[in-house]
Each structure stands twice: as structure tokens, then as C-alpha cells.
Amino acid sequence: MAQLWGGRFTGETDALVYQFNASISFDRRFLEEDIEGSMAHVAMLARQNIITQKEAESIRDGLVSIREDVKSGRLVITDAYEDIHSFVEANLTQRIGEAGKKLHTGRSRNDQVALDMKLYTRKEIRETHALLTELLHTLLSMMEEHLDTYMPGFTHLQKAQPLTLAHHLGAYFEMFKRDIQRMEDIDRRMNYCPLGSGALAGTTYPLDREYTAGLLGFTGPTLNSMDGVSDRDYLIEYLSAAATVMMHLSRFSEEIIIWNSNEYGFVEIDDGFSTGSSIMPQKKNPDIAELVRGKTGRVYGALMSLLTTMKGLPLAYNKDMQEDKELTFDAMDTVKGCLTLFTGMLKTMRFHKEVMAKSAMNGFTNATDAADYLVTKGMPFRDAHSVIGRLVLYCIEKDTSIDALSLEELQSISPVFEADVFEAVSLRTCVEKRLTIGAPGRKAMEEVIRAEKAFLEEADLWSREKH
């Protein structure tokens, strides 16, 4: 058991205590970030003449060889080390001797781990951003394809008014667009480098924190060393944004599950994205959508967990903070996995346009438009609402729909109806006349699609700049 802090101790650590305390089983994940941070630190130490150029070169070579050997499998990360920081430092000293012991000059594991976690999270945020952008590209091309695919819109899961699939998908476009903006916001706010904060009070070495911050792609150094080592706000922000992404995916999944049901039959999920039953041969289940919906709970859990861990922690570093990692890593894997699979499922899903249009036509989705028709003929809306209410009742009794009635039948309810009513309550008119911005009418949708294309160009640009 290799420990970095043996000097003060005379007794051995209890084996269970060692295990309980160790983090190598999960912080091995940011080996890359740990090495990247050390490289920047060493470059700065040499630049400030705190170590020699020769020592710096030797440390850098040692770090590169460790990275390569772990990658190739020649060097294995084992739990003989307490954490990834100890693993790297011990191996470095084994490889290059005395110079290796200078790597940690002017640094503490507290600012080191704060840096590693930040670098790792920044990378994850950028990857999540890219996956969200990919999902938006998929949604936008589906929207362009389905500007005339009619379907019922629902409130209370009851048919309300007709709209188009493009419009329905457009609602999710808006949600994921905000998710993208949240990722960009967090990236900007968190992008300050904690390295140089030391254990909590900075150091007496003349470190150039601006320089290391620049090398690592940060906007600048953090401005308070106690906050530098103990800030985990960015993780809470990330988890909150991730929970919101999952909430959106879960709502969308729920709709797909409903649309895919035998009763609705609006969509068919591709064979590649569904599974069967071990006993019922006829089954084709929407497991991916259900799993995405189900996994949402884990990500919410991670957010709650970290909020609770951080609550009541006094300044500065406390070991509690080691608990920021496992659940956050799990949430990161979950969100990226769900986004990837969900987008794949969406791309291969087939829509049964006729079933959707037929469903949009029954269930009195044109009742509002029938009332609006009477208004255009001079009737106050409240009276029109009541007339159409009676008309719907009449249709229910006769098991028919408004547009299937004869003009005589309509006029028996109200003499205001004229022959042009049929055009006014047709499915096409009901949708196409809704032309205010944000509504499902084709012209309005086309305008929105143009704006969203511009948004996506910006998002792609952001992605390219950050990678």
C-alpha cells in the first residue's frame, strides 16, 4: 500500500480503513486529466525557476511514458495505490528517480483533484453538448419532412386540437436547445483554474497561476484559494442540467411508448431498437424508450446526493468531497448513453401518417375552429362555444363527427352555418390557419425552422471551437 503521507505515522493503516478511504477504483478515470494538469504545473515550475528545465523535461518524459504504458496495458492501475495522484507520482519516481519527487512542489492533492475533476467535467460537458447538437440536427430534418403530417395535439392526454408532427417535434427541439444553452453557460462559468490554490491557502512559491490556467485552456485562475479547492458548484450545475436533459428525454420516451402502443399505432420502432418477449411471440417492446425513462431516476439521484453531500461542509476541503465522483461519473455515462441511443431510435422510427391523420380527424379536434367559424359570422365567442357544445353532444349521440354532418343538420343546431363551414373545419384548414409565430401552420413553421438552423450553426461552431 503506497501512501503519500507516511512520514507522520508510525502505525499501519487498518486494511478496511485503507479500502474505505481509497478512491483509486473510480478516480483512475481521470488519469489523462491528472497527467495533463501535472504537465502544465511542471512547465510553470520550470518557467518560474522553481525546478530546473532538465528536471522538468525528465518529469514530462516520465509522465508521457506512464500515460503510454497505461494505454498499451504495460502498466496496470491497481488498488495498491490510494488514488490516481499517488499512482502517478509513485510510478514517476520509480521511473525517473529524485526529480519525480519535485512534481508536487507548490501543489496539494486538494487543488490537484479540484483541477482533475474540472478538466474531466469540462470534457464531458462538451461531449454532451455535441450529442445534444446531433439530436437537434435529427429533429430538425424530421421537422422539415413532416410539415404536413397531421396528428392530434393533446391536453390531459385527451384530444385537443390538430397539429403536425413537425410542430410536436419542434416542442422537443426547444427543450433540447435550452439544454445546449445550459451546457454552454456552465462551461463558461466553471472555466477558471483551481491549480495553485494549494491545500487551501495558496503557496509561498512564486507560482504563475495565469500561465497554468492558460496552458490548460481556462479563462483565468480562480480568485480565492479556499473556494478553489472546495467549489463543487459546477458539478451541481452540470447534474442539474443533466437531470433536465433526462427529464426531457423521459417525457419524449413516454410519448413514443404511447404512440407505439397497439391502441395508438402512430409509430413503429425499428427492430434494431426494440426487443421481444421470452413468452409472448407477438411482442415487440419499446425497451429503449422505457430504459431512458427509467434511468432518469439515477441522474436525479446523483443531483440530490451531491447537494446533500455539500450541504453543511465547512471550508475548505473535506474528505466528504471525494463522494462527488462515483455518482457524477454514473450520471455522465447515463446521459451520454441515453442521448446516443435515443437519437438512434428516433432516426430509425417510422411514422404511420394515415393513422395519425385519422386520429386527428376524430375526437372533435376541430370544435374550436367550428366555434371560431361562428365568430367570423358575427356570433360572440361565448355563444359560439355553447352552440358547438350542443353540436358535439349531437354528434356523440349519432356517433359521427362535425364535418360528416349535412348542412341541414348543422343548421338545425344554428341557422348561422353556411356551406363554407366544411372548408372551415377541415383538418387542413384547422392546422394551416394557425399562422402566428410558434403555431403549427406551415408558413409559421418554416420561419421557425429557419431560425433554428441559424441556432444550430452557432452550436456547431461552439462545438468546433471547444474540441
- Which residues are at the interface with ligand ARG (CB under 6 A)? 23, 27, 83, 109-110, 113, 317, 319, 321-322
- What's the closest the beta carbon of residue 319 comes to ligand ARG, in angstroms? 6
Shortest distance, CB of residue 317 to ligand ARG, whole angstroms? 6
> Which distant-in-sequence residues (6+ apart) come within 8 Å of 177 by Cβ?
136, 452, 455
- In angstroms, rounded to a whole number, what is the distance separating the alpha carbons of residues 112 and 103? 12
Report the residue number, 113 or 346, with the smaller CB distance to ligand ARG.
Answer: 113
Minimum Å distance from CB 207 to ligand ARG?
19
Radius of gyration of the chain (CA): 30
- Tell the smallest beta-carbon distance from residue 344 to ligand ARG (Å): 34
Closest distance of CB 116 from ligand ARG, Å: 9
Compare residues 88 and 143 and give the one whose CB is closer to ligand ARG: 88
Name the minimum Å distance from CB 154 to ligand ARG: 47
Q: Which one is catalytic: 277, 359, 386, 406?
A: 277
H-state helical runs in 28-164? 31-47, 53-72, 84-96, 109-145
Query: Which CB, 48 or 322, lies closer to ligand ARG?
Result: 322
Compute CA distances 324 → 27, 28, 33, whole Å. 11, 14, 16
Helical H segments across 198-232, by residue range: 209-215, 225-230
Rounded distance between C-alpha atoms, residue 184 and residue 134, angstroms: 15
- Sorted by sequence, the CB contacts under 8 Å of residue 375 that are 6+ apart come out as 381, 384
- Nearer Cβ to ligand ARG (84/190): 84
Q: How far apart are the first and last CA of the chain?
A: 38
User: Which one of the listed residues 156, 240, 274, 352 is annotated catalytic?
Assistant: 156
Identify whether 277 is a catalytic site residue.
yes
**156: annotated active-site residue:** yes
Q: What sign for the dihedral angle of Cα 235, 239, 241, 245?
A: positive
Taking CB atoms, the residue at the shortest distance from ligand ARG is 322
Pairwise CA distance, residues 371 & 388, whole Å? 6
Whether 111 contacts 38, CB under 8 Å:
no
Q: Which is nearer to ligand ARG, 322 or 414 (CB)?
A: 322
Nearer to ligand ARG by Cβ, of 120 and 273: the residue is: 120
Active-site positions read: 156, 277
